[in-house]
Amino acid sequence: MRAFVEIAALGKTYDTPAGPAEIVRDVNLYVREGEFVCLLGHSGCGKTTVLSILMGLNRPSTGGIVIDGREIDGPGTDRGVVFQSATLLPWMSVRDNVRLALDQVPRGPGIAGADAYLDAVGLRGLGARYPRELSAGMQQRVGIARAFALEPRLLLLDEPFSLLDALTRMDLQDELVALWERTRRTVIMVTHDVDEALLLADRIVLMTSGPSATIGRVLDVEFPRPRRRDEMLARPDYFWMRDAVLAFLEAQPVHA
């Protein structure tokens, strides 16, 4: 498969009263179309900085990002985004929150279209509810439905399950796996959860600790798809892969 996302010599430095603070330096990565990539590293390693530049919400200090042959210079409907919290508009129903995304693309399928995306994330019949009437996990399902409703070429996920309890987190991971299997969108996801990355990713991109963080290692995750959690845990190479990721992370300094 061809490279769909090209991150070339990417760097980000902020001016501070103490002088320049270099967050990431010389990040280079190609992502193929339809690939699921996880960025993994300690807190403060710059993975969210890289993702925010991919979103178009932050500008690089050096280098750049090309998506499908076009250098990005801001946000766009070609990219769907899911943040740590669902970021729903509280005065709108969940159906209208999804329709907000549908209205940004030239299709206009209306309420039936929004309900179809809600059905896909396990929220059938809840379109008329308001965000305050839903649990945190259900709100995040709405956020995922809204991102997929854009039918984006690239889906960007910033630790979307990190604020959820363990059981809800695993449930939503399985939902995401199933939804991705049906659509095969290109996905770049930030996570600090090793098991989550092994379940979801085709490749795990390991970031060194900052300052001046960069890519330290890239691991191919060759477990067959579709993936089932119980089947993966029964594989002896699962624990070899897990140990390899943990060994890299343990070798990195952790800054307070």
- Domain end: 117, 132, 151, which one? 151
Rg (CA), the chain: 18
The predicted-structure confidence for 101-123, as pLDDT tens digits, reads as follows: 888 776 644 545 888 889 888 89
Residue 256 falls inside a structural domain: no
| Residue ranges of the chain whose pLDDT lies below 50 | 108-109, 111
Number of domains in the chain: 2
Residue 255 falls inside a structural domain: no
Q: In DSSP terms, which residues pair with 155 in a beta bridge?
A: 80, 187
Residues 97 and 139 in one domain: yes
- Domain end: 99, 132, 151, which one? 151
The predicted-structure confidence for 40-56, as pLDDT tens digits, reads as follows: 998 888 899 999 999 99
Q: Is the dihedral of CA 52, 58, 60, 64 positive or negative?
A: positive
| Confidence (pTM) | 0.92
On the 0-12 / 13-18 / 19+ scale of CB atoms within 10 A, 236 is exposed
Q: How far apart are CA 197 and CA 214, in angstroms?
A: 18
What's the pLDDT score for residue 107?
Answer: 61
Beta strands in the chain (DSSP E): 3-16, 19-32, 36-40, 62-67, 70-71, 79-82, 154-158, 186-191, 203-207, 215-220
User: Which domain covers residue 168, as residue numbers?
Assistant: 3-78+153-250
Q: How far apart are CA 23 and CA 16, in angstroms?
A: 12
- Domain end: 151, 177, 200, which one? 151
Residues 94 and 211 in one domain: no
Q: How far apart are CA 79 and CA 168, in angstroms?
A: 25
What's the pLDDT score for residue 106?
Answer: 67
